[in-house]
Amino acid sequence: MKLCLLAALCAACLGLSGCGLAAAPCRITSAVIKVVPVVGHAAALPTDACAEVIDP
């Protein structure tokens, strides 16, 4: 059951590549990192780049 759910989720992500849903994990991680004082914005640059590549 869980394997089918995982396969369906992966298929949905591949079908939706290039949209905001696929970039959501990168954007959420970036937002969490940006909360860190002083170094947050600099440390979040790689995750921002990840989101821009997926969803320009």
pLDDT reported for residue 22: 72
pLDDT reported for residue 15: 61
Q: How far apart are CA 36 and CA 33, in angstroms?
A: 6
In terms of DSSP H, where are the helices of 1-56?
A: 2-15, 20-34, 40-43, 45-54
Yes or no: say if 51 and 27 are a contact pair by the CB < 8 Å rule.
Answer: yes
Yes or no: say if 47 and 33 are a contact pair by the CB < 8 Å rule.
Answer: yes
pLDDT reported for residue 54: 79
Residue reference for tokens 């994990």: 25
- The pLDDT profile of the chain, 56 residues, written as one tens digit per residue, is 667 777 777 776 666 555 667 778 888 888 999 998 889 888 998 888 888 887 77
